[in-house]
Amino acid sequence: MTTSYWFPWIARVSPQTFRADVIAAVTGASLAIPQGVAFATIAGLPPEYGFYCAIVAPIIAILIGSSWHMVCGPTTAISALLFGALHHDFSAGSEAYIQAVITLTFLAGVIQTALGLSRFGIITHFVSHAVMSGFITGAALLIIFSQIDHALQIELPRAESLIDYFYTFPDRLSHASLYAALISIFTITVAVICKLFSPALPHYLIALISGSVLGYIFGQNGAEILTIGPLPGMVPPLSMPTLHPELIEQIMPSAIAIALVGLLEAASIAKAISLKTDQKIDVNREFIGQGMSNFIGSFFSSYMSSGSFTRSGINVETGAKTPLAVVLMSLFLLILLPLMAPLFAHLPIAAIASVIILVGWKLIAFEEIRRYLHSSRKEIVILIATLLGTLLVSMEFGLYVGVGLSICLFLKRTMEPVVKTIAPLQSSQGTFFHNAHRFDLNTCPQIHFISIDGPLFFGSVEHIDQKLTAIMAREGTKPFWIFNGNGISDLDIHGAHYLKDIISRHLHSGGHIAFVMRSQWKLKQCREYHLMETVGEENLYPAKQMAIQQIVPQLNQSICQQCKHKIFFECPGKEPGSTISQSISVGNGHEESVLP
């Protein structure tokens, strides 16, 4: 594959994009330092491992993956899952624990890469916009809740336990630091004003600097302001996964689970970001990028990484134009961390927390929620379920709930194809066949004109039979059937046998059949399942109009003469050039014109 395939963004690099990428990189790097410390602590690792992950993983993922703006690295969910998977068998922070983490990262990288190469990314097709909106909103709220204690300089339970969080919050609020609260409010205010009056300015970076200045002033006057503190400035050392069979057997189930959660999390973030950037995401390539970042990262002391909501949101919000922003972000961390660690040590935690809170607020999918509330009841249920699962249990559980509900909805739609009686309807755009029951159209008293739209397979046969039974009960027995099979999207042997059975019973009762199907591929299936032996090749028509032309002359002409509807152009007694009496002002969702 050519360079243009792997790095199509290189042609877009210009002095303007480079400047924007540098600003985004500096801002992102400044937030990666405190996050690295926090996430490594959650994972049960020494702080420097958060830096190793924030330096190594993003470069590999952004260069191999598909998204131009997603920033990978340590995340809350993955860090918490790692700790939960390993701390029972290994002492957190010990050499054995670190080695188990590195080995698990290696195994997860292999699994993720293999899934990407096998094009397993199709699973993300079930991560709908409703799932993403619920997941994004839930993750954004968790981000906000996780930073409130830092913004107010109080101790609160971790945001994943919202029940304990809200139960404890009122009591703890009285212990909040007024100075920390002022720094947080001031930092957010500066960021909002900069964004409002000069969007081109690096408002988050300016806000951080402003908050630091205010924190320094408070500190000089005796206020106790918590800062990041001393940071280790180290280059990621080489490491080697331990491939002992006993260790692999012990941690493989956790590696599989965490690998899948990491992929779903990263794919959801990449797709969510693409809604803002209009970039097309290749999910399989993103899987490979995630896998390679963990596989290669495990040899550079990097622990399990995934897409970061916070850092990705900041990357987009600060105006990053190309993946170069992420590359520069990691390089800035690598080069500047040893030099700037003493300066960052004085950065107020409240200032960092307030910027992260602002980013979380902007990630909440207000517009999507409003749109779903006014348009789709099923989608809003999926969104709310994903949101609640994310908030009340965990981010990965929220994803599982959303994906599970999406799959259930998909299966329900698949198992319930549309079965309808159709009739011609005149519109301003022509005359077309429509759902007779929905539009309250007149039908021929001698013809059941039936159409199935959707798959006809073992899972949908019962639903189709119920609908056909209801149609027969509503419209009565009619001697002629015109069966429109053009809408059948898929057919298996069970569906074919069902059609053979009902058609055979109708023919044995003295009825007549016309089968409409123009797709040669579908006809091949029908013949392979011996359906056409029952229908009869002489009763096969490529278009509905041809079937009508053959069937109408065979009808009981005395009934036709007494019929007032005359819904077909071929009806006896219908004047040449006359139109169909049934009409509607706008013909939406039409199927096929009945005009010759």
Query: Mind listing the pLDDT tens digit for each residue in 504-550?
Result: 999 999 999 999 999 999 999 999 999 999 999 999 999 998 999 99
Confidence of residue 182 (pLDDT cuts 50, 70, 90): very high
What's the pTM value of the predicted model, to 2 decimals?
Answer: 0.69
Amino acid at 592: E
The kind and range of the H/E element at 129 are: helix 129-152
> 505-537 in b/e burial notation, b at 16+ Cβ within 10 A?
ebbeeeebbbbbbeeeebbebbeebebbebbee
Judge whether 17 and 321 are in contact, CB under 8 Å.
yes
Judge whether 499 and 468 are in contact, CB under 8 Å.
no
Looking at residue 195, what is its pLDDT? 83
From 168-172, 194-198, 528-532, the region with the lowest mean pLDDT: 168-172
Looking at residue 390, what is its pLDDT? 80
Judged against a pLDDT cut of 60, whether residue 266 lies above it is answered with yes
Query: Mind listing the pLDDT tens digit for each residue in 472-511?
Result: 999 888 999 999 999 999 999 999 999 999 999 999 999 9
Q: What residues have CB less than 8 Å from 44, skipping those under 6 apart?
A: 82, 83, 86, 87, 92, 93, 97
Q: Which domains does the chain possess?
A: 15-223+239-409 (no CATH), 417-562 (3.30.750.24)
Judge whether 286 and 79 are in contact, CB under 8 Å.
no
Nearest-angstrom CA–CA distance, 139 and 111: 25
Looking at residue 95, what is its pLDDT? 92
Query: Which of helix, strand or coil describes residue 386?
Result: helix
Give 586: exposed, middle or buried? Use CB within 10 Å, 0-12, 13-18, 19+. exposed
Judge whether 405 and 412 are in contact, CB under 8 Å.
no
From 21-30, 114-123, 153-162, 351-360, the region with the lowest mean pLDDT: 153-162
Looking at residue 137, what is its pLDDT? 84
Amino acid at 217: I
Judge whether 39 and 77 are in contact, CB under 8 Å.
no
Looking at residue 206, what is its pLDDT? 83
Q: What is the SS3 string spanning 6-17? A: HCHHHHHCCHHH
Residue 351 corresponds to which tokens in the numbers above? 């200032």
Residue 49 corresponds to which tokens in the numbers above? 């491992």
> 84-116 in b/e burial notation, b at 16+ Cβ within 10 A?
ebbeeebeeeeeebbbbbbbbbbbbbbbbbebb
Query: Mind listing the pLDDT tens digit for each residue in 108-147?
Result: 999 999 999 998 888 777 777 888 788 778 877 877 887 8
From 136-145, 155-164, 188-197, the region with the lowest mean pLDDT: 155-164
Rounded mean pLDDT of 549-557? Answer: 92
From 244-258, 351-365, 366-380, the region with the lowest mean pLDDT: 351-365
Looking at residue 314, what is its pLDDT? 84
Query: Which of helix, strand or coil describes residue 424?
Result: strand
Confidence of residue 4 (pLDDT cuts 50, 70, 90): low
Nearest-angstrom CA–CA distance, 451 and 485: 6
How many of the other CB atoms lie within 10 Å of CB of 342? 11
Amino acid at 578: S
Judged against a pLDDT cut of 60, whether residue 590 lies above it is answered with no
Give 588 or 487, the one with higher predicted confidence. Answer: 487
Confidence of residue 593 (pLDDT cuts 50, 70, 90): very low
Nearest-angstrom CA–CA distance, 524 and 513: 19
Looking at residue 159, what is its pLDDT? 47
Nearest-angstrom CA–CA distance, 127 and 141: 20
DSSP code at position 281: P
From 92-96, 187-191, 492-496, 582-586, the region with the lowest mean pLDDT: 582-586
Strand partners for 516: 484, 541
Looking at residue 135, what is its pLDDT? 79
Nearest-angstrom CA–CA distance, 5 and 94: 43
> Which is it for strands 512-516 and 480-484: parallel, antiparallel or unpaired?
parallel
How many of the other CB atoms lie within 10 Å of CB of 489? 13
Confidence of residue 430 (pLDDT cuts 50, 70, 90): low
Query: Mind listing the pLDDT tens digit for each residue in 15-63?
Result: 889 999 998 898 888 778 777 777 787 788 887 898 899 999 999 999 9
Residue 387 corresponds to which tokens in the numbers above? 């949101």
Judge whether 457 and 498 are in contact, CB under 8 Å.
no
Query: Which of helix, strand or coil describes residue 366?
Result: helix
Q: What is the DSSP string of 68-113?
A: SSPPEE--HHHHHHHHHHHTTTS-TTSHHHHHHHHHHHHHHHHHHH
Query: Which of helix, strand or coil describes residue 484?
Result: strand
Strand partners for 451: 420, 484
Nearest-angstrom CA–CA distance, 481 and 593: 20
Q: What is the mean pLDDT of the chain?
A: 85
Q: What residues have CB less than 8 Å from 143, skipping those under 6 apart?
A: 159, 309, 310, 356, 357, 359, 360, 363
Nearest-angstrom CA–CA distance, 572 and 558: 10
Query: Which of helix, strand or coil describes residue 466?
Result: helix
> Which is it for strands 488-491 and 447-456: parallel, antiparallel or unpaired?
parallel
Q: What is the DSSP string of 176-243?
A: --HHHHHHHHHHHHHHHHHHHH-TTS-HHHHHHHHHHHHHHHHHHTT----B-------PPPP-----
